A and B are shown apart, each in its own frame.
Chain A
Amino acid sequence: MAEIHLKSLAHSYFPNPATSADYAIREMDHVWHQGGAYALLGPSGCGKSTLLNIISGLLQPSEGEVLFDKVRVNEMPPKERNIAQVFQFPVVYDSMTVYDNLAFPLRNAKVPEARVRAKVNEVAEILELHEVLHNKARNLSADEKQKVSMGRGLVRDDVSAILFDEPLTVIDPHLKWKLRRKLKQIHEQFNITMIYVTHDQLEASTFADKIAVMYGGQIVQFGTPRELFESPNHTFVGFFIGSPGMNLIEVRRSEGGVSFDDIQIPLSDELNAYLADIPSYNLKIGIRPEFVHVWDKPVDDAYATELISHEDLGTHKILTLRLGNQSIKARLDEDRELPEGKVYISFPQQWVKLYVDEFLIEERS
Chain B
Amino acid sequence: MNKTENNKAWFLVLPVFVLVAFSAVIPLMTVVNYSVQDIFDQNNAYFVGAEWFREVLRDPRLHDSLLRQFIYSFAVLAIEIPLGIGVALMMPTKGRMASLCLILLAIPLLIPWNVVGTIWQIFGRGDIGLFGAALNGLGIDYNYASNPADAWATVLLIDVWHWTSLVALLCYSGLRAIPEAFYQAAEIDRASKWAVFRYIQLPRLKSVLVIGVLLRFMDSFMIYTEPFVLTGGGPGNSTTFLSQTLTKMAVGQFDLGPAAAFSLVYFLIVLLVSWLFFTTITHMDKAK
Contacts and interface: CB of A to CB of B under 8 A. Distances in A.
B187 interface: yes
B194 to A, nearest CB: 10
A95 B185 CA distance: 15
Q: Which of B190, B191, B202 has the most CB of A within 10 A?
A: B190
A85 interface: yes
B181 interface: yes
B208 interface: no
Contact of A104 (B181, B182, B191): B191
Given A87-B185, A94-B203, A96-B199, A79 B190 contact: yes
Contacts of B200: 93
Interface in A40-91: 53, 56, 58, 77-79, 83-85, 87, 89, 91
B188 A83 contact: yes
A149 B191 contact: no
B23 interface: no
A77 B179 CA distance: 20
A237 to B, nearest CB: 30
A185 interface: no
B181 A91 contact: yes
A56 B189 contact: no
Contacts of B203: 93-95
A95 B179 CA distance: 16
A135 B164 CA distance: 36
A95 B192 CA distance: 17
Contact of B191 (A84, A108, A135): A108
Contacts of B185: 85, 87, 91, 149, 152
A251 B189 CA distance: 53
B19 to A, nearest CB: 40
Contacts of B181: 87, 89, 91
Contact of A108 (B179, B182, B192, B288): B192
B188 A78 contact: yes
A136 B287 CA distance: 9
Contacts of B192: 108
Contacts of B75: none
B2 interface: no
A105 interface: yes
Contacts of B189: 104-105, 108, 152
B188 A93 contact: no
B184 interface: yes
Interface in A71-128: 77-79, 83-85, 87, 89, 91, 93-96, 104-105, 108-109
Nearest to A97: B288
A136 B200 CA distance: 14
Given A96-B199, A104-B199, A91 B187 contact: no
Contacts of A206: none
Nearest to B195: A108
Nearest to B203: A95
Contacts of B199: 93, 95-96, 104
A58 B187 contact: yes
B204 to A, nearest CB: 8
B130 to A, nearest CB: 44
Contacts of B190: 78-79, 105, 108-109
A139 interface: yes
Contacts of A149: 185
B187 A79 contact: yes
Contacts of B191: 104, 108
B288 A56 contact: no
Contacts of A108: 189-192, 195
B184 A58 contact: yes
Interface string B165-208: 00000000000000101101101111110010001101100000
Contacts of A136: 288
B47 to A, nearest CB: 54
A79 B182 CA distance: 15
Contacts of A109: 190
B22 to A, nearest CB: 44
B184 A87 contact: yes
Contacts of B187: 58, 77-79
Nearest to B191: A108
Contacts of A53: 184
Contacts of A77: 187
A363 B203 CA distance: 61
A136 B191 CA distance: 20
Contacts of A85: 184-185, 188
Interface in B99-120: none
Q: Which of A77, A84, A93, A95 has the most CB of B within 10 A?
A: A93
A79 B183 CA distance: 12
Interface in B138-180: 179
A265 to B, nearest CB: 50
Nearest to A53: B184
Contacts of B188: 56, 58, 78, 83-85, 105, 153
Given A104-B199, A108-B192, 20 more contacts: A58-B184, A58-B187, A79-B187, A83-B188, A84-B188, A87-B184, A87-B185, A89-B181, A93-B199, A93-B203, A95-B199, A96-B199, A104-B189, A104-B195, A105-B190, A109-B190, A135-B288, A139-B288, A152-B185, A153-B188
22 contacts: A58-B187, A78-B188, A84-B188, A85-B185, A87-B184, A87-B185, A93-B203, A95-B199, A96-B199, A104-B191, A104-B195, A104-B199, A108-B189, A108-B190, A108-B191, A108-B192, A108-B195, A109-B190, A135-B288, A136-B288, A152-B185, A152-B189
Interface of A: 53, 56, 58, 77-79, 83-85, 87, 89, 91, 93-96, 104-105, 108-109, 135-136, 139, 149, 152-153
The 4 closest A-B pairs by CB, nearest first: A95-B203, A91-B185, A105-B189, A108-B190
